Amino acid sequence: MTEAFVTGCGRVVYDDVGPRNDGPTLLLVHGFPLSRAMWRAQLEGLAATCRVVAPDLRGFGGSTLGGWPGGGGASLDRYADDLVALLDRLEPRGPVALVGFSMGGYVALALERWLPGVCDALVLMDTRAVADTDEGRATRLKMADHVAEWGASRVAELMRPRLFAPQTPESVVAETARVIAATNPAAIAAAQRAMATRPDSTPLLPLVAKPTLVVVGEHDAISPPEEMRAIAEAVSGARFAVIADAGHMAPVEDPDAVNDLLRGFARSL
């Protein structure tokens, strides 16, 4: 079921499927510059196990940028605020696992920094704890400054080579490119500026005190497996899993393997 609510002058759209009982809820937070569409296989495949909720972050998919004029007011903390407002609305009766994919993982770590009690468990998927290098930040800010003239389809072309494993079918690659090309350039600029200012979360990792699963595609070129293994080693008791033959977009490249991991994790809560 697709729902929407208004928060901080923005309209946030989300999918909410599965049983509303005292079992677990998986809150799936998408990456950049994507939307809840990337979680279609998880929404379909996990709804028999637990409640599954997937929002569009501000400006992406069906959600509006709202009161972030020109994208200037965006920050990972503000995306995290929207998740808190969403959880208030959901009133989950059981444990909540926040599943943060890539940029969604940065938002999950922002929430972990300020309000660690909001979620009971964490899945960090194809994401990073470190801040940008100076070079990486400059590349982001260049895109933020120019995306209005470039258009989102150029962003899709720029990102495509780093998102997938070599063996991923062209239909999967094309579907993600289509989602990126349809994204509002102002949302892309806002998110790039938000990610460029994110702090190094490495010191936060040993403070995470909740069940944690760390998942990465074997060929992830953006958040490489060795970097994600280090994240898992820094979080006490965290589990680490590698999705074979997948790249950065593991949830769409091998949805069955990702769903098996998420199903097992949800059942363990």
Residues 6 or more apart whose CB falls under 8 angstroms from that of 150 comprise 143, 185
CB of 196 to ligand MLT, least distance (A): 9
Q: Which of 102, 168, 176, 201 binds ligand MLT (CB under 6 A)?
A: 102
Q: How far is CA 236 from CA 4, 98, 245, 255, in A?
A: 36, 17, 28, 27
**By CB under 6 A, is residue 83 in contact with ligand MLT?**
no
Are 25 and 88 contacting, i.e. CB atoms less than 8 angstroms apart? no
**By CB under 6 A, is residue 195 in contact with ligand MLT?**
yes
Are 50 and 266 contacting, i.e. CB atoms less than 8 angstroms apart? yes
Burial tier of 93 (Cβ tally within 10 Å: 0-12, 13-18, 19+): exposed
Q: Which of 103, 113, 93 is nearest to 269 (CA)?
A: 93
Cβ closest to ligand MLT, residue 42 vs residue 102 = 102
**By CB under 6 A, is residue 32 in contact with ligand MLT?**
yes
**By CB under 6 A, is residue 17 in contact with ligand MLT?**
no
Cβ closest to ligand MLT, residue 9 vs residue 221 = 221
178 in helix, strand or coil? helix
**By CB under 6 A, is residue 26 in contact with ligand MLT?**
no
**By CB under 6 A, is residue 143 in contact with ligand MLT?**
no
- The count of residues in the chain is 269
**By CB under 6 A, is residue 222 in contact with ligand MLT?**
yes
CB of 20 to ligand MLT, least distance (A): 29
Amino acid at 43: L
**By CB under 6 A, is residue 189 in contact with ligand MLT?**
no
Cβ closest to ligand MLT, residue 90 vs residue 144 = 144
Cβ closest to ligand MLT, residue 32 vs residue 265 = 32
CB of 156 to ligand MLT, least distance (A): 12
Please calculate the CA angle 42-237-98 and round it to the nearest 5 degrees.
30
Q: Which of 103, 122, 214, 235 binds ligand MLT (CB under 6 A)?
A: 103
Other Cβ atoms within 10 Å of 204 Cβ, number: 17
Site residues for ligand MLT per CB under 6 A = 31-32, 102-103, 195, 222
